[in-house]
A and B are shown apart, each in its own frame.
Chain A
Amino acid sequence: MDGFRVKFIRGLGVLGLSASVAWVLASAIRARLPNYITGLLTVVAINSVTALGWNLVSGFTGQFNLGHAGFMAAGGYTSAILMIRLKWPFPVSFICGAAFAGFLGFLVGFPSLRLVGDYLAIVTLGFQYIILAVLNNTTPLTGGGLGLAGVPFRTHLPTATLTVVVTLWLLSNLVRSKQGRCFVAVKEDEIAAQSVGINTTYYKVLAFIISSMLAGLAGSLLGHFMMYLHPDIFNYLKTIESVSMVILGGLGSLTGSIVGALCITLVPEVFRNLATFVAGFGLMRASDFLRRGWMVFYALLFVVMMLARPRGLMGGRELTWEGVRSFAARLVTLRGVRGWPSSKSET
């Protein structure tokens, strides 16, 4: 009991410390660096929350979710409408957005997750189309195809970073808890998990609800960042974006999702700037190709990653201080980097 209390207080301390460090750092960046960079980093933070959510249900629990953007839309629209129409304060509507997305997650998850198999993928994909149809056809409430303008700006870089830190802390504790072990058990072998007495439906639905709540949080952050919402923002490709981040970082690696979010958000910017740069020399064709080539590169990423590195760039590991230090030490002593994950370590 005492050990538990010490652990709990230490955990809270880690959260407080990292949250305040993140807040100070983010505020400093916001004050010093140009708006472009701050905005880009905010997008990275929002995408990290989305990717973490997707990773929980697909990377840890092994259920393929293709409606993540739909839950983002639910959270984003709920939070924005509560703030605009009912003048609720931001923290309350923010939480309500997540709660509503979680509720929808229960409605969608329950019928499809009772079954063994990949039914969730197709039901969530259908949910995506249903929610877009609803958003497009409830014009008085959501603005329909015209979009919802005038969403108050609340997502500063510190807010977004704080959300990432809290999410990361919660999830890293969750995956090491009893529930988290059950998630992984369901992914590894559902029948075996059932036979040792794990209520697989309960854990699958639980993971799915938490994941949709995180999507709702990210959606409302996105809405309060862009100050505008439109059904087309939350289309199928938005889901695919989160999938690509998790694949790049590694299914079942929390820090990997953040690395993936960083890469997938920044690389197209690099491509875009490179294209503008090349166009400056009058190489219009090359510029055009660079601008659009990203899309093919992006699609190839899925196939190549699955074939060559199914556990992601990080090989399913977490980025820890110890890991970074021992890696650096090996580099310094030039003994060859042995701990670096090889492609043979896949499952």
Chain B
Amino acid sequence: MNEFVQQVLNGLAIGSVYALVAVGYTLVFGVLRFINFAHGSVLTFAAYVSLFSVLVFKVPFPFAFGASLVLSGLFSIMIERQAYRPLRARGAPNLNLLITSIGVSLLVENAIIVFYSADFFVFPRVLPSGTVSLLGLATAPPIDLLLTAVAVFLMSALYMFVNFSKMGVAIQALAHDRDAAALMGININLTIAYTFFIAGVMASSAGVLIGIKFNVNPYLGGLFGVKSFAAAVVGGIGSIPGSYFGGYLIGLLETMGAGYVSSNYKDAIAFVLLVLILLFKPSGLLGRGIQEKV
């Protein structure tokens, strides 16, 4: 029983990461209808920014965390402006956008390797060491608790933003019908920039925290990014609660699979689930089908 509770805790912590990244895919997919493969590189970028701030500039961790959230959000906007907007402006096919986003993620990864280093960095100690006991049932390292708390906080903040602010409603309108939204006087480019900023902030919070949990390396965003996308599709792409649900589902299944079955196929679980979902319920567990319009 105790072991089970422990596995659930671990699954919740890693599921928070997937959920935070997956919601970014869903938001961007909602407004632009394409998979932003460069989303994972925002996560890597954030981990390096916070590492630099703490190691080189000796900034206290909370400020470094905040700075990396803002900078990564801006980085995400910059990617959209420099790489995607010119393509959108001339109505390039979706395939070109996908290839560009792959190129951007490759560029970030390789630029870090060439201009900095390909080494794996252990994050300096910023949290108390040891583990925290939870009601005597299980123990968790402080980073897992922080991860879950940050995830819950950001998710509630996003809920408030999307439902109760003008810009949030604009994002929803854009996801619903871009042309109609433009005709209603919504500034399309500004709304898209906001969407990318929010997606970047959500992903970067996950990036900094997994940098602390594991280590910081140029490939950080790769596998986490891809699995989070799988999570977004499993939950139903385009649905914000769906991406949280998918993220936690994959996190839990992965830790359970590694704990009770075999850790050899841990990375494959998310994708097997993805294929099953596409076979039996392509719109995702909580998603509504996307209507292709002429």
Contact = CB atoms under 8 A, between A and B. Distances in A.
Interface string B60-92: 000000000000000000000001001100101
B161 interface: no
B132 interface: no
Contact of A300 (B107, B290, B292): B107
A118 B35 contact: yes
A331 B94 CA distance: 37
Contact of A310 (B92, B230, B290): B92
B214 interface: no
Contacts of A307: 83, 86-87, 100
A129 B268 contact: yes
B279 A347 contact: no
A295 B114 contact: yes
Interface residues of A, number: 49
Contacts of B110: 295-296, 298-299
Interface in A125-152: 125-127, 129-130, 133-134, 136-137
Interface in B263-288: 264-265, 267-268, 270-272, 274-275, 278-279, 282
Nearest to A297: B110
B229 A122 contact: yes
A243 to B, nearest CB: 7
B111 interface: yes
A118 B94 contact: yes
A13 interface: no
A62 B95 CA distance: 7
Contacts of A122: 35, 226, 229-230, 233, 274
Given A64-B95, A111-B278, A121-B35, A299 B107 contact: yes
B93 interface: yes
B145 interface: no
A236 B221 CA distance: 14
B114 A293 contact: yes
Given A122-B35, A126-B275, A299-B103, A117 B95 contact: no
A123 interface: yes
B96 interface: yes
A125 B46 CA distance: 24
A188 B35 CA distance: 19
A247 interface: yes
Interface in B16-54: 34-35
A112 B98 CA distance: 17
A126 B93 contact: no
Contact of B113 (A114, A240, A295): A295
A302 interface: yes
A329 interface: no
Contacts of B292: 116, 190-191
Nearest to B219: A236
Q: Which bucket holds chain B's interface residue count?
A: 35 or more
A10 B229 CA distance: 50
Identify the interface centre among B90, B95, B98, B104: most chain A CB within 10 Å of its CB.
B95
A165 interface: no
Given A111-B279, A296-B107, A310-B96, A243 B268 contact: no
B222 interface: yes
A191 B113 CA distance: 43
A224 B106 CA distance: 30
A42 interface: no
A114 B289 CA distance: 14
Contacts of B282: 114-115, 119
Given A115-B278, A243-B102, A126 B271 contact: yes
A64 B229 CA distance: 15
B229 A129 contact: no
A306 B87 contact: yes
A96 interface: no
A249 B257 CA distance: 44
Interface in A142-193: 187, 190-192
A306 B271 contact: no
A330 interface: no
A37 interface: no
A68 B272 CA distance: 18
A279 interface: no
Nearest to B278: A111
A3 B95 CA distance: 38
Given A58-B95, A62-B95, A307-B100, A236 B278 contact: no
Contacts of B87: 306-307
B103 A302 contact: yes
A220 B275 CA distance: 27
29 contacts: A58-B95, A64-B95, A111-B279, A112-B275, A118-B98, A122-B35, A122-B226, A123-B275, A125-B226, A129-B271, A134-B268, A190-B292, A191-B294, A243-B99, A247-B99, A295-B110, A295-B113, A296-B114, A298-B106, A299-B109, A299-B110, A302-B106, A303-B107, A306-B100, A307-B86, A307-B87, A346-B90, A346-B92, A347-B93
Query: Which 7 pairs show the lowest CB-CB distances between chains A and B?
Result: A302-B103, A126-B271, A299-B107, A299-B106, A295-B110, A303-B103, A111-B279
